[in-house]
Copies of this chain bind each other. A is one copy, B any other.
């Protein structure tokens, strides 16, 4: 998943090995990370082709007509887009290690919470990327969102939103929770008060200890360094690749 990000002029890679799905991704894209989390949790074999979002290869538009990532290429050549649709597809197609709750009502409630979390995502994106006018309301949107999720986890009384192990809701919100710590650097340092979000912070700690979540996880220092390059107008997608062997 740390392969170089292919750019305009790069050669189209050969098809994935037999038995493997292919994820077109970007190492720093939280929506792509959602799909890695699902693939890893369900122990599905896949390879990753990273795409440079500032300079997409021409051939990529043959795979994903709008140039969107993540895109999942299936063995028979079909391609799916939209992180939530891909995630639901994988959970329905590969029945082992199911992620959605088998009860349709609980599943629907979890899907509503994933929708609700979008408000936190949008506010965080504005603060972290400094794209769009950041205002005081963004802090409030994040605080309200986290308060709802803190209450929800408390009411469920379980280690994870999904119960004894991370489920679909845990995985769909995780990429932004992994980045929450860095809000202190780019945003309001008072935002994440330990006493207000006791359950959520314990949940975060448990999530970071899960082997299937560790696989795609990055340190806050890496996220910060990437965001600094992004905000400077030169996103360094290959940072990890360049900094280690």
Contacts and interface: CB of A to CB of B under 8 A. Distances in A.
Contact of A85 (B82, B92, B108): B108
Contact of A112 (B74, B82, B92): B82
Contacts of A105: 74, 78, 80, 89, 93
A37 B69 CA distance: 33
A88 interface: yes
Interface in A78-104: 78, 80-82, 85-86, 88-89, 92-93, 104
A93 B85 contact: no
This chain: copies in complex: 2
A210 interface: no
Contacts of A109: 78, 80
Contacts of A223: none
Interface of A: 74, 78, 80-82, 85-86, 88-89, 92-93, 104-105, 107-109, 111-112, 115
26 contacts: A74-B105, A78-B105, A78-B109, A80-B105, A80-B108, A80-B109, A80-B112, A81-B112, A82-B111, A82-B112, A82-B115, A85-B108, A85-B111, A85-B112, A85-B115, A86-B108, A88-B108, A88-B111, A89-B104, A89-B105, A89-B107, A89-B108, A92-B104, A92-B107, A93-B104, A93-B105
